[in-house]
Structures are given as C-alpha cells and as structure tokens.
Amino acid sequence: MKDCIFCKIINGEIPSKKVYEDDKLYVFLDLNQDCPGHCLIIPKVHYINLRDIPTDLLNYVMQTAIKLYGFIEEKLNCDGMTLLQNNGCAQDIKHFHLHLLPKYISKPNLSIDEVYDMLTKK
C-alpha cells in the first residue's frame, strides 16, 4: 500500500528506530511512547487487521513477541508486558500491528533515544 505509513517505514521511506527485523517482520519503537520500550511489531506484507492476517503469520508474530518480551525485560528491566492489538475504528493505522508495552513497578524517566540506545547496545 503506497500510502501506508508502516509500509513506508518498512521500505525505508520514513526513518524509524528499528529494534528487530527478519524476512517477515519489522519491529520498531513507537515514536509516541506510552511507556519506555513501547514497540510495534508489523508484518512486512500489508495486512489490514486481525481478520486479514494469515494464521501462520499471526502465530509467528506471537512467537516473536514472546522473544522480544524476554529481550526487552533483560535490556530495560521491566516488570511485565502488555500486548495490544486494535482493529476497525480502534485502529489508527490500517496495517496490522501488535503493540508491546513494557510495564514497570517504578516507571523510569527515559527518552526514546535513551531507550533505543539501551535496546541496541550489544
């Protein structure tokens, strides 16, 4: 979809703070962080919502979310994780995406750049 902001991010037309990428998925920090480490998992192929995405890819998204939960927990020392996926009128961008929202007992005051550095530091 040529007008989809997520497709433009995947194609490199819009910059992003990439956290993970493979042949099926692209994961990046949400610019409007609800909490430090708020990431979006998006398929590289454009699917509108939960009804549109193939089940095998949806399962792969969830497997990747589990891996990223462990990674984010290790790097940011979060105390939990909320997964959020909106559809229909609740969906701002009509490209399937899964929000990973780290939760903290004591929320750290970190900028998106500080979070990005913590997640990408080897």
What would the mean pLDDT of 8-36 be, rounded to a whole number? 96
What's the rounded mean pLDDT across residues 13-22?
A: 97
97 tagged catalytic: yes
**pTM metric for this prediction:** 0.94
**CA atoms of 5 and 73, how far apart (whole Å):** 28
Q: Choose the CATH number for 5-120 among 3.30.428.10, 3.40.50.300, 3.40.50.1370, 2.40.160.20.
A: 3.30.428.10
pLDDT in tens, 52-92: 999 999 999 999 999 999 999 999 999 999 999 999 999 99
Is the model's pLDDT at 119 over the cut of 90?
Answer: yes
Residue 46 has pLDDT above 80, yes or no: yes
Distance, CA of 115 to CA of 86 (rounded, Å): 24
